[in-house]
Each structure stands twice: as structure tokens, then as C-alpha cells.
């Protein structure tokens, strides 16, 4: 194997590895990375080494079939996993092929699959780490593609072609190719930035189905239900979830380390068999609102006596539909079009269609105010939980009859229950399973006396409800990590938390946290030390990426360049209205329509891209010829007259093209004359004579004599006559 082929095989191997690593970064699945990357590394002896032997075709086929079955199963289980399923199939197809024999065509296919795998990564994530990986992958892929095409041209199409061999072996030519690769990379980056800034957001949205946005990883901390009774440990993740800025009514940042925020997500008012969920009655009372970018929507009336605040929140990822806020929200502003569902009774906010990041602002009132009266179902009306709550309320001196309590009595009684939990129970992330027939709340209150925040919130809510105090469990996040430089709270997955909201009176709710404050502060304490400094720096870089790139929305785009300076949105909307596959009720299944529309969209985009590349290539050739001709004229004043003499050469090329014997642009005319010998010796001799006269004028740099010009014209006439005879001969044979 020659050195050029060795070089391109190494480049293809490296491109595949970087593409696989890029996708693993995008999906955030380190188990996949621990399997795929070693498999790629171990393919080195087979792909490039002299001692490695390819795997049997049966084994390779088995791997491919297994990957295909896994992808199909994943799509059938959840159609929203189509991108991940197809991407993983491409990943394993590449790795399987590394253990097989390669051909020249296989190299090209591997590079194409690598490109589509990276496209899958872009559809899966929008993290800064993926952006960094692309900065490595793109130049490598461009360089590999250029060298592959040149190597394939020499190995398959023209094995004896000397110019290709010179390019592959010349150091100067390789430097020129590197410059070309760098130019293409810069051009691609500039084009991407231009599209990013100029193209209005939302064009083509929904054309290939509602698949959601990029999703960086699954969030394990927040849950929209609480299930008690599992055994084991809670594993913490320091992955950032959102950035939160707290502003007062005058727009002043009032966040600080001494002011933790409880960011409510799910509101749970129904308890059954150890599980808190949202009741059907609350679900039925949700109201739907349509949001336009930057337009605030008020869904509740604020109290004039209570101070107002604004939360500016940037969700870095959305594995669910919830928009996090505080008690009590009354106005919401989104930075993109969306349909939002807001609970009429509990003010729970959801925006269906989770996936990529989202920025929004919510106006809130933090004091004791809330939604209209909503009375959750009474639980534990008798038994040990009820008895404990009764004794604690009586000992605190508050009435047992709900009708005799004032809002102040309700708050005092609830705080008495909170004080009991603070003094007598231990916060731990270790979970215990209840005995057979034992309720998890009773297990926590009377047997284990230790648990995490969900047990404390559940126990407080249960005791309140057992004595007629309306309460509900809230799941969300506790923001404690405040960055003075950015003025924002950084909320991580490990900050997931559960607490209780208690209703004091109609329209009056208050948040109470039953978890022991000291233990809770330790559990949510921001990281310290040198590792924390490094992590803080990387979090800051990630925050810049999210705010400046990922969250670059339509409002900010219009502030920079105007609404639609190039008319892109109007053109796209017209094309979508006349799409080949309009959506129709009762038609083909939505997944089929989405896939077909994806093919249409990809084909149209690819055709446009190829057309632009072709135009750029033609323009480059024209400019190169112009520069060459201008240089020739500067160096040789007699070149103009010689150029005028060479008209016979261009006429000969036109005659050959009309007879379907055109000279390829890359083939020298003398080589073309030799190739025509297999077709007609007389024709080849005429082309050879014209080539000799052309070379004498072009490269010999001399004026042709009158005799040579007459000879050229005579040869051109014979060439035309011979071509006409050959055409007539073909027509007569066709007629017979």
C-alpha cells in the first residue's frame, strides 16, 4: 500500500473517531462513550495495521443487525427518539465497518456517515462542549474529504494520471490544499454566522413534525410526582439546569447568597399509595395561553399591597414541560412563540414541547398571597399521623376545629408541625423501603425518623391535611449558588427540592419548608476549593454560551439586523404553503409524513447547497483563468495576437463537443487525441495536428506563420468533414 493511501486511511479513521466522540459529548451518555471509543481504538490494527485481520463477515453483519434492531425498537418505544436511534445506528455501522475490509468507495461512505452522525449530534445538543468538538471535527472532515477525492481519482478513475500523483506527493501542493481547507472552513463558519444572524427564527417550524428541540441530557433531579418508599441512595449531579436573576420593581438586582429562592415546578395535591400527583380536578382547570415573543401575558391580578419582583430565567435544557417560578406568579413573558398551560387554581405553569433551552421572565409576589380557594382531599383523618398532628396543634395552643381558626392560627399551627420535624428528624439521602402494608409517611414519622426532602414535605402536608389545614407538595429547585459577577443564581440538578405550600385563607398561600435548615444548607452548599474554582470558570463560560448563542432569539436578532432584511421569511412561508406534502387530517401517519417531509427538506437544502458550491467553483475557475490571462499579457505583449490566431483550436473543441466527443476539462488535448485513436485514426490525426499548432502558439510563445495558419484551417475543415461523415454513418446504421 502506497503512502498516499495510508495517509487517507489514517485520516478517515481519525475522522470517524472524532465524529464518534462528538456524538458522545452531545448525547451525554458516558456509558456509550466507554463502549464506542474503545471499540474504535481497538479497530486500529484491523483498519491500518499490517498484522490485523478483518472480522468474519458474519460477525460484522450480526453487529449491524443488532444495531438496526435496537434503533427500530427505540423508535417504536418513543417516536421522539428518532434522531438518537438513527444516530446510534450510524455510529455502530461505522465502527463495524472499521473491522471489515475497506475499498475506495467504503472510505467515502464512512466519511458521509460520519458527517450525518455529527448532524445527529447537532440535533441532540446545543452545549458549548459540542461547539468545541465541532471546531476540531470540521477542519479535519474537510481535509479528509479533499484528500479522499484526490486519492480516489488516482486509484480508481485515472490510475496513471500524473497531475494527481504530483499533487499527492508535492509538499507545495499539500500546503495549497491545506490553505484551501482553511478557506472552506472559514467560509463555512462565516456562512453559518450569517444565517444565524439574518434568518428569522421559526421558519419551517413544524414542517417535519413536532420533534422538540435539542436536548443535552436527561435531568434526574426534578420530578413532577413524588413516589415514596424506594430503597437506596440519591445520586447527585452537578450539571447546571438554569440561570436565575432576581430583580425588584425598579429593575435592581436583589439576589444574594443570603437569599435562597424556592423555584416551584409541579404542584401535587393528591396522595395515593405512597405517591403524590396532581389531581384530575386541577388538570381540568388549566387555561391555555398563546405567547408571542417578547409580549407579556397576565394571567392573574397582583395584590397592590404586596411588593413585586421579576425573575429572568434561562433554562439550559428542558427535559420536561415545566416553567419554574415562585409563589406567586401573575405575568409571564417568553422569547419565542409557545402555547402555555397555567393552572387556574394552583398557578402551575407548563409549556408543552420540552427539549432545547428557553428564556423567559415572570413577574411574582413573594409574600403570603395566592390563587383562589382550592381544598385538597383530606387524608389521614384517623390513625397515628392524625393523632400526632392533633397533639402538636393542641400543645401549641391552636384550635382543632378548622372553622375556629384565623389565618394567623393556621400559620401558627403549620409552623408548630414544621418545628416538630426540624427538631426530631434527620435529613439523609439514604432511602429506606417500608414494611409490607406500611405507609411510607408513617414509616418516616414513627419508625426510621430520617429521610430526604420529599419525606419531610410529604409528612408536613399529610399532618396538615389530617387536621383540616389545606396543603400541597411542591417539587422544584432551591437556588442557593449566587454568582456576584453575573448577578445570577446557578441552579444545578443537585438543587432539586420538595417543600409544602399551606393555604391560610382564600387567596392566601405560604411556602413552608419542613426539611431541617442546617442539614438542608449542607446538602445544597455550593462547591468549594480549587475544583470549585475550575468548575465555576467553566460554568461561566457555559453561561456565556447559553446567553449569547443558544438563547439568541428573534428579539435580539431583530435588534441587530431588523425584522427580515433579505425577505427570507416571506419566501419560506410561500414555499411551505405550496409544499409537496401538505398536512391533511386523516392522511398518512404523522411519523411517515414527518420523515417524507424531512426527505423533501433535506433534498431541497442539499440541491441548493450543491448549486452554491458549483457556482462558487465556476466563479473560481473563471477568476483563475482571468488572472492567468492577465499575467500572460503583462509578461508577453505579443500574447494578444497569438491568442487571436488560436481561434481554430476553440472551433475544433466546439465541433468535437457537438459530436459527443468533447475533451474533458482535465485531459490535455494531446492525450485526448491519443484516446480518439480507438474511435477513428483519421479524426485522431486531425486533432493531433491542431494540438501541435496550439502548443507551438501557447507554450512555444511564437506567432504562427501564414502557412501554419492555412494548414490549421485546412485541418479544421477536414476535422469537421470527418465528424459529419461519422454522424451520417451512425444515422444510417440506426436506420437499418
- Going by pLDDT thresholds of 50, 70 and 90, the confidence category of residue 632 is low
pLDDT > 90 fraction of the chain, expressed in percent and rounded: 26
**Among 119-123, 234-238, 582-586, 647-651, where is mean pLDDT lowest?**
582-586
pLDDT of 501 > 80? The answer is yes
In the prediction, which pLDDT does 587 show? 47
pLDDT of 76 > 60? The answer is yes
CA distance 614 to 143: 19
pLDDT of 502 > 90? The answer is yes
pLDDT tens-digit map of 263-292: 999 999 999 989 999 998 888 888 999 888
Cβ–Cβ contacts within 10 Å for residue 252, how many?
8
- DSSP string of 76-98? HH-GGGHHHHHHHHHHHHHHHHH
This prediction has a pTM of 0.54
Rounded average pLDDT over 172-180: 68
In the prediction, which pLDDT does 571 show? 62
pLDDT of 325 > 60? The answer is yes
pLDDT of 108 > 70? The answer is yes
pLDDT tens-digit map of 250-270: 999 999 988 899 999 999 999
CA distance 517 to 480: 13
- DSSP string of 485-509? TTTEEEEEGGGEEEEEEEEEETTEE
CA distance 313 to 359: 6
| Mean per-residue pLDDT over the chain, rounded | 78
In the prediction, which pLDDT does 454 show? 92
In the prediction, which pLDDT does 130 show? 81
In the prediction, which pLDDT does 212 show? 41
Higher pLDDT among residues 246 and 168, named by residue: 246
In the prediction, which pLDDT does 177 show? 67
pLDDT of 484 > 80? The answer is yes
| 61, 89, 599, 357 alpha-carbon torsion, rounded to 10° | 180
Please answer whether residues 500 and 457 qualify as being in contact, where contact means their C-beta atoms are separated by less than 8 angstroms. yes
In the chain, domain spans = 3-198, 237-270+279-364, 639-735
Q: Is 518 helix (H, G, I), strand (E, B) or coil?
A: helix
pLDDT tens-digit map of 380-395: 888 999 999 999 999 9
CA distance 260 to 513: 12
CA distance 328 to 508: 10
CA distance 347 to 199: 35
In the prediction, which pLDDT does 195 show? 62
Query: Of the segments 84-98, 248-262, 615-629, which one has the largest average pLDDT value?
Result: 248-262
Q: How many residues does the chain have?
A: 736
**Among 453-457, 524-528, 572-576, where is mean pLDDT lowest?**
572-576
Beta bridge partners, 363, equal 310, 331
pLDDT of 457 > 90? The answer is yes
pLDDT of 369 > 50? The answer is no
pLDDT tens-digit map of 568-623: 555 655 555 544 444 444 444 555 555 555 555 666 666 666 567 667 766 777 77
Rounded average pLDDT over 294-308: 86
pLDDT of 149 > 60? The answer is yes
In the prediction, which pLDDT does 236 show? 65
pLDDT of 372 > 60? The answer is no
- Going by pLDDT thresholds of 50, 70 and 90, the confidence category of residue 458 is very high
pLDDT of 354 > 80? The answer is no
Query: Of the segments 15-29, 621-635, 706-720, which one has the largest average pLDDT value?
Result: 706-720
| Residue bearing cell 453487529 | 63
CA distance 389 to 582: 61
Amino acid at each position: 500500500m502506497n503512502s498516499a493511501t495510508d495517509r487517507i486511511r489514517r485520516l478517515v479513521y481519525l475522522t470517524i473517531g472524532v465524529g464518534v466522540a462528538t456524538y458522545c459529548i452531545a448525547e451525554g451518555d458516558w456509558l456509550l462513550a466507554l463502549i464506542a471509543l474503545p471499540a474504535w481504538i481497538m479497530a486500529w490494527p484491523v483498519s491500518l495495521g499490517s498484522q490485523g485481520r478483518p472480522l468474519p463477515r458474519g460477525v460484522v453483519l450480526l453487529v449491524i443487525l443488532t444495531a438496526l434492531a435496537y434503533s427500530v425498537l427505540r423508535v417504536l418505544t418513543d417516536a421522539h427518539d428518532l434522531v438518537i436511534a438513527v444516530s446510534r445506528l450510524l455510529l455502530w455501522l461505522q465502527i463495524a465497518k472499521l473491522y471489515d475490509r475497506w475499498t475506495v468507495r467504503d472510505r467515502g461512505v464512512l466519511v458521509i456517515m460520519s458527517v450525518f452522525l455529527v448532524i445527529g449530534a447537532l440535533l441532540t445538543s446545543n452545549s458549548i462542549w459540542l461547539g468545541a468538538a465541532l471546531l476540531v471535527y470540521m477542519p479535519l472532515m474537510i481535509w479528509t474529504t479533499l484528500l479522499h477525492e484526490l486519492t480516489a481519482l488516482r486509484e480508481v478513475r485515472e490510475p496513471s494520471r500524473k497531475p494527481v500523483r504530483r499533487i499527492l506527493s508535492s509538499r507545495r501542493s499539500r500546503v495549497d490544499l491545506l490553505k484551501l481547507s482553511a478557506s472552506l472552513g472559514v467560509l463555512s463558519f462565516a456562512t453559518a454566522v450569517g444565517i444565524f444572524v439574518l434568518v428569522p427564527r421559526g421558519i419551517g417550524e413544524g414542517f417535519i413534525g413536532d420533534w422538540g428541540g435539542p436536548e443535552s441530557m436527561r435531568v434526574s433531579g426534578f420530578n413532577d410526582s413524588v413516589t415514596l418508599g424506594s430503597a437506596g441512595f440519591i445520586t447527585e449531579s452537578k450539571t447546571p439546569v438554569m440561570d436565575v436573576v432576581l430583580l425588584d420593581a425598579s429593575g435592581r438586582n436583589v439576589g444574594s447568597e443570603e437569599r435562597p429562592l424556592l423555584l416551584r415546578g409541579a404542584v401535587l395535591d393528591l396522595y395515593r399509595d405512597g405517591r403524590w400527583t396532581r389531581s384530575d380536578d386541577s388538570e381540568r382547570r388549566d387555561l391555555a395561553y398563546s405567547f408571542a415573543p417578547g409580549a407579556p401575558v397576565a394571567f392573574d391580578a397582583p395584590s397592590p399591597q404586596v411588593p413585586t419582583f421579576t425573575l429572568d430565567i434561562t433554562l439550559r435544557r428542558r427535559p420536561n414541560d415545566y416553567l419554574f417560578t415562585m409563589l406567586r406568579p401573575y405575568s409571564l413573558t417568553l422569547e419565542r412563540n409557545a402555547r402555555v398551560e397555567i393552572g387556574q387554581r394552583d398557578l402551575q405553569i407548563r409549556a408543552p414541547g420540552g427539549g432545547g433551552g428557553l428564556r423567559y421572565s415572570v413577574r411574582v409576589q413573594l409574600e403570603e398571597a395566592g390563587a383562589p380557594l382550592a381544598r385538597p382531599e383530606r387524608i389521614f383523618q384517623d390513625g397515628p399521623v392524625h393523632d400526632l398532628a392533633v397533639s402538636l396543634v393542641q400543645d401549641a395552643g391552636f384550635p382543632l376545629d378548622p372553622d375556629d381558626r384565623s389565618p394567623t392560627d393556621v400559620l401558627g399551627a403549620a409552623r408548630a408541625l414544621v418545628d416538630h420535624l426540624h427538631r426530631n428528624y434527620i435529613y439523609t439521602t439514604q432511602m429506606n423501603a417500608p414494611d409490607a402494608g406500611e405507609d411510607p409517611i408513617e414509616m418516616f414519622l414513627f419508625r426510621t425518623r430520617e429521610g430526604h426532602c420529599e419525606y419531610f414535605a410529604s409528612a408536613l402536608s399529610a399532618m396538615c391535611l389530617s387536621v383540616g389545614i389545606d396543603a400541597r407538595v411542591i417539587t422544584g429547585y432551591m437556588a442557593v449558588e449566587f454568582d456576584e459577577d453575573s448577578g445570577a443564581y446557578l441552579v444545578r440538578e443537585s438543587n432539586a427540592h420538595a417543600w409544602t405550600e399551606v393555604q391560610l385563607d382564600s387567596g392566601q398561600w405560604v411556602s413552608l419548608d419542613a426539611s431541617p435548615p442546617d442539614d438542608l444548607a449542607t446538602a445544597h452548599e455550593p462547591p468549594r476549593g480549587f475544583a470549585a474554582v475550575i468548575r465555576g470558570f467553566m460554568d461561566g463560560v457555559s453561561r456565556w454560551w447559553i446567553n449569547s448563542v443558544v438563547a439568541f432569539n428573534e428579539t435580539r436578532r431583530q435588534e441587530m439586523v431588523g425584522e427580515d432584511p433579505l425577505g427570507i421569511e416571506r419566501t419560506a412561508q410561500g414555499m411551505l404553503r405550496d409544499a409537496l406534502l401538505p398536512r391533511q387530517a386523516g392522511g398518512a401517519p404523522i411519523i411517515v409524513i414527518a420523515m417524507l417531509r424531512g426527505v423533501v427538506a433535506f433534498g431541497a437544502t442539499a440541491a441548493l447547497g450543491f448549486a452554491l458550491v458549483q457556482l462558487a467553483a465556476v466563479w473560481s475557475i473563471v477568476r483563475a483563468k482571468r488572472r492567468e490571462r492577465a499575467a500572460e499579457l503583462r509578461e508577453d505583449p505579443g500574447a494578444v495576437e497569438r491568442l487571436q490566431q488560436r481561434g481554430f483550436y476553440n472551433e475544433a473543441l466546439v465541433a468535437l463537443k457537438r459530436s459527443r466527443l468533447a475533451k474533458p476539462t482535465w485531459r490535455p488535448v494531446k492525450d485526448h487525441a491519443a484516446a480518439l485513436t480507438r474511435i477513428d485514426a483519421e479524426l485522431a490525426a486531425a486533432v493531433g495536428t491542431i494540438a501541435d499548432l496550439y502548443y507551438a502558439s501557447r507554450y512555444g510563445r511564437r506567432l504562427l506563420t501564414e502557412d501554419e495558419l492555412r494548414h490549421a484551417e485546412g485541418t479544421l475543415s477536414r476535422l469537421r468533414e470527418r465528424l459529419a461523415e461519422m454522424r451520417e454513418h451512425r444515422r444510417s446504421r440506426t436506420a437499418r
